[in-house]
Structure 1
Amino acid sequence: MKLLLVEDSKRLRDSLALGLRKSGYVVDLTGDGAEGYWMATHEQYDVIVLDIMLPNMDGLSILTQLREKQVNTCILMLTARDKVENRVEGLSKGADDYLVKPFAMDELLARIDALCRRSYNIRASHIKWGPVTLDLSKRTVSVNEAELALKPREYRILEYIAMRSGEIVSKSDIESRIYDDNAELRSNVVESAISSIRRKFDAVGHPCPIETRRGLGYLIEKA
């Protein structure tokens, strides 16, 4: 999943980016409000994490203009303002969630995970296909309760295709949502990861739910 983090404190920005990337997210970041607004209107993100106090363009102005432009990406506001009226203002302007500083990283991750599920109209914390269970909160995959030893990126690929079940997901879309822009991608990196996922399903005696559509991408049928 791909996030945009707009936070003016370099120390906090770098710390949050590190924690989010360790959790498997692809993160674009900036400390400038005007640049953050430009990025939000020129790239697709699953969630935008947006500070309120920013140079050149404040977070509430960014939020208001994004909603006016019909950018419907889920937005989580960060702020040091803890009064009820401050939270009400952000939510009334179209924010999806609100987190007051200081906060625990685990809480931020839980809120982002929930917003990612909302982005794909998924309310439950599990996706199931017969004996296969994808646990979105624990980030695990099991078949008949036997957990598959997927690498973090393999899990994210399976999760992303599963959250878009019923749609064909292109290779380039997977690359942009799962791999950081700074990563040097081999031409077959997605194919190799999916082959590894399939081998791990084969090892437990169950077919992998990911289907290949030649020349188009990958598909998991709706359960």
Structure 2
Amino acid sequence: MKATQGIRLMLVDDEPHILQFLELGLMNEGFEVRTASDGLDAIGMVADFKPHVVILDVMMPGMDGFEVCRYLRAEETEISIIMLTAKDEVDDRVTGLSIGADDYMVKPFSFEELLARIQARLRNQFPGLLGEVRCGPFRIDGRRKEICHKDQVLELSPTEYELLQYLVINHGLVLSKPMILDKIWGYDFGGEENIVEVYIRSLREKLGDKEHRIIRTLRGVGYRVDLI
């Protein structure tokens, strides 16, 4: 069984040859794929199919990709959107990302690049779907809710698991305390921000990270995981 088994992708494009090419390629990779040739069809299909990732063309007759993206963001928060367009305009990219798209690709593009973008979105937003994710010395098993560091299973509480997974998946990026609180504890968390420091301290102890070389603190900014 492929790691992509059970992952649902929706393709929305008014060009039949592109739909057919991508559908065959992605099905061959093990994804479950549905296609729509216009925005209205896509919206009607989303509630039933519940895709994890939508690959969405911008330039379509009637309801364009921007309108579909706005709708999806308002109705389906647990979804990843990759927008496609023949336009290489900065304004279009800015518009797409500002209304909720997670990534943006300009036509023509290679199938390999699209596949890599899809995998990146899944690792970031749905890490448990891929089963096992490797990031340097870390191995994250989303199905078993288990993280190994240098082949050693870490004894983590559920919250520690979620926090370390978030940090590792976003390795190299600086994550602020507000970002961490919102992602791990929820936007309506009423406690103190120093709870993040408490959990970071605990993770460092379990990683043997006395010198803070794995989970780095950038004072006044946030935390960053380095894969060493």
Matching residue's letter, 2:92: N
What is the CA deviation profile of residues 198-223 of structure 1, one whole-angstrom value per residue up to 9, with x for unaligned ones? xxxxxxxxxxxxxxxxxxxxxxxx9x
Q: Deviations over 1:162-190 (max 9, x none)?
A: 534349xxxxxxxxxxxxxxxxxxxxxxx
Q: What is the number of equivalent residue pairs in this alignment? A: 138
Distance change in 2, residues 1:125/1:30 (3 Å): same
Indicate the residue corresponding to 1:19 in structure 2. 25
How does 1:88-99 map onto structure 2 within 5 Å? 88-99=94-105
Q: Does 1:165 align with 2:144?
A: yes
Q: CA deviation at 1:126?
A: 1.1
- Structure-1 residue corresponding to 2:112: 106
Q: Structure 2 CA distance, aligned partners of 1:58 and 1:44?
A: 20
Question: 1:195-210, aligned counterparts within 5 Å?
Answer: none
| Of 61-70 and 106-115, the range deviating more from structure 2 | 61-70
Q: Identity of paired residues, percent?
A: 39
| 1:36 corresponding residue in structure 2 | 42
Q: Which segments of 5 or more consecutive residues in structure 1 lack a partner in the other structure?
A: 135-161, 168-221
Q: Cα offset for 1:110?
A: 0.1
Deviation of 1:14 after TM superposition, in Å, equals 0.1
TM-score, normalized by length of structure 1?
Answer: 0.55
The 4+ residue runs of structure 1 with deviation greater than 4 A are none
The code of the aligned residue for 1:55 comes to P
Secondary structure of 1:91's counterpart equals helix
Change (3 A) 1:53 1:164: farther
Q: 1:121: Cα distance to partner?
A: 4.6
Structure with bigger gyration radius: 2
Q: Which runs of 5+ in 2 are unaligned?
A: 1-6, 147-164, 166-228
- In the TM superposition, what is the alpha-carbon distance from 1:42 to its structure 2 partner? 2.9
Of residues 131, 134, 143 in structure 2, which corresponds to 1:126? 134
Q: Which amino acid aligns with 2:70?
A: T
Residue 96 of structure 1 aligns with an amino acid whose one-letter code is D
Task: State whether structure 2 residue 96 is matched by structure 1 residue 117.
Answer: no
| 1:19 counterpart letter in structure 2 | G
Tell me how far 1:71 sits from its aligned partner. 3.0
- Please tell me whether residue 59 in structure 1 is matched to residue 38 in structure 2: no
For residue 73 of structure 1, what is the amino acid of its counterpart?
I
Is 1:41–1:66's contact at 8 Å kept on the other side of the alignment? no
- Tell me the C-alpha RMSD between the 2 structures: 2.9
